Amino acid sequence: MNDLRNGLMPAEKRLVSWSCCFASMSLMGVASAWLLAELTPSPLVNSLLVAARNIPAFLPLKRHIKGFPLMFSAVLMLELVGVALSWQWLNPPLLIGITLTGVFVLSIGITIALPPLVQRVLEGTNLRKEQLQYGQDLGGLSGTILAGLFYPAFIQFPPALLLILPVIPLSRSIPHKTAETDISQTQPTMSAPPLKPWSVLHGFLNGALFALLPLWALTIDQNNFVDYSMIMGAFMIGRLLRGLLPWLSGAMLYGLCGLILLSAFVLNTPLWLDVLLFIPLGGLFVSIDLALIEHLKGQGDLSRCMDIHHRSDKVASVAGGLVMGASAQIFGLITAMPVLVVLFLLAAAITWRWRPPSGLQT
C-alpha cells in the first residue's frame, strides 16, 4: 500500500520483474554455452566464454539502469549466430568470435544495470537478501527449464528477449527521492568496488567449474544438449532448496562440494545420479554466496555488498576458467576433472585454516 502511495511499483511486482530478468540471463547463459560447445570442442576456447562473461568486472564501468539496451543488442548478436549455425551460413571461427563478442556485450549490460536494479527493487521495502536470492534462483531455474524445452539455439534467444521486457517499467521508474536518498540511486556512479579475498576464492572455483561443465555434459551421452539442461536445472533446484540444508561451516561447504564433484566427475556415475548430485551442489553454492555477502555487511547497503561480492567473484572467475580451460586443453578433459576436485578440497582446507573473522557460515 505504501508503494502505491509513493508512486512505486508494488514489491511483489518488482520481485517478479527481478526473477524475469534472471530467467532471461539464465536462458542466455545456457544457450550461449551450448552454442560455443557446438562450434568447437576445444576446452581452451570454451573457457573463453567464462572470460567474456566476467572481464567487464575488471573495468571501472558506470553503474546505471540504462544498461539494458546493451543486453538487447547482445541477444540479437547471439540470435544471428544461432541462425547462421543452423543454416551453416558462416565459418565456425567467425561465429565463435561473434558469440564471444555478444556474451561480452551482454555482460557489460548486466554489470552496468544490475546494481541500480537492486536499488530499485529494494527501495521502500523490507526485502532481505534471502528473498532477492530466492527470486534470482527461481528465475535462473525457469530460464534453465526453458533452455531445455527450446532447441536449437536460435529459438532460445527470442524467449530470453521477451523475459527482459518486464524489467522495462522498473528501469524507467523514477526513484523516490528523500533527504536520505543516496545520489548513487539517481545518477551514474563510477563504482568499481574493491576485491575481497574470500569472494575471489569462491569466484576462482566458480569459473573453474563452469568452464568445464558444458564440455563434460557433452561427454555423457554423445553431445546431448538435454543432459546439460538437466544438470543445470538440478543445480538451480538445489539453490532454491538451500533452506533445507543444516548449518555448515565454510570448510564443510567446500569439502562437500569437492566430494560431490568427485562422485560426478571421477567415479563415472550414471546420468540420473549426476543430476541428483547437482541438487545439493546448488544448495551449497548459494549458501557460500549468501554467507560471503553477509560477511561484507559492514561495506554498505545490500546492493553495495552484492556488487562487491559479485565483482570479486567475476574477476576471479576469469582466472579460474582460463586455468582450467588451459589444463583441459593440454592434459585432456578427463585429467582436468580430478584437478578441479582437488581445488575444492584445497579451498576447504584454506577456509578451515584462515576463515573470515565472522566465520564463513550460513
At CB < 8 A and 24+ separation, what contacts does 346-353 make? 347/201, 347/202, 347/205, 347/254, 347/258, 348/250, 348/251, 348/252, 348/253, 348/254, 348/255, 348/258, 349/251, 350/201, 351/198, 351/201, 351/249, 351/250, 351/251, 351/253, 351/254, 352/249, 352/250, 352/251
Q: Please report the pLDDT score of residue 280 as a whole number.
A: 93
Greater confidence (358 vs 292) lies with 292
CB atoms within 10 A of CB 238: 25
Q: Which residue has the cell 566465520?
A: 359
Q: Is the pLDDT of residue 191 over 60?
A: no
Please state which architecture CATH assigns to domain 2-176+185-353.
Up-down Bundle (1.20)
Q: Please report the pLDDT score of residue 297 as a whole number.
A: 82
Greater confidence (111 vs 278) lies with 278
| Phi-psi map region of 246: left, alpha, beta (phi>0 left; psi -120 to 50 alpha) | beta
| Phi-psi map region of 122: left, alpha, beta (phi>0 left; psi -120 to 50 alpha) | alpha
Strand partners, 16: none
Lowest mean pLDDT among 123-127, 154-158, 286-290, 316-320: 123-127
Model confidence band, residue 190 (pLDDT cutoffs 50, 70, 90): very low
Asked if residues 229 and 140 have their Cβ atoms less than 8 Å apart, the reply is no
Strand partners, 249: 361
Chain segment 212-246, per-residue pLDDT in tens: 887 787 776 555 556 777 888 889 898 888 877 77
Helices 68-87 and 92-122, interaxial angle, to 10°? Answer: 150
What is the residue type of 77? M
**Residue 146 phi, psi (nearest 5):** -60, -35
Q: Is the pLDDT of residue 275 over 80?
A: yes
Q: Please report the pLDDT score of residue 192 as a whole number.
A: 66
Average pLDDT over residues 273-296: 90
Map out the domains of the chain as residue ranges: 2-176+185-353
Asked if residues 54 and 107 have their Cβ atoms less than 8 Å apart, the reply is yes
Beta strands in the chain (DSSP E): 62-63, 189-190
Cell of 257: 562440494
Q: Is the pLDDT of residue 64 over 50?
A: yes
Report how far residue 67's alpha carbon sits from residue 91's, in angstroms, rounded to the nearest whole number.
31
Report how far residue 123's alpha carbon sits from residue 120's, in angstroms, rounded to the nearest whole number.
5
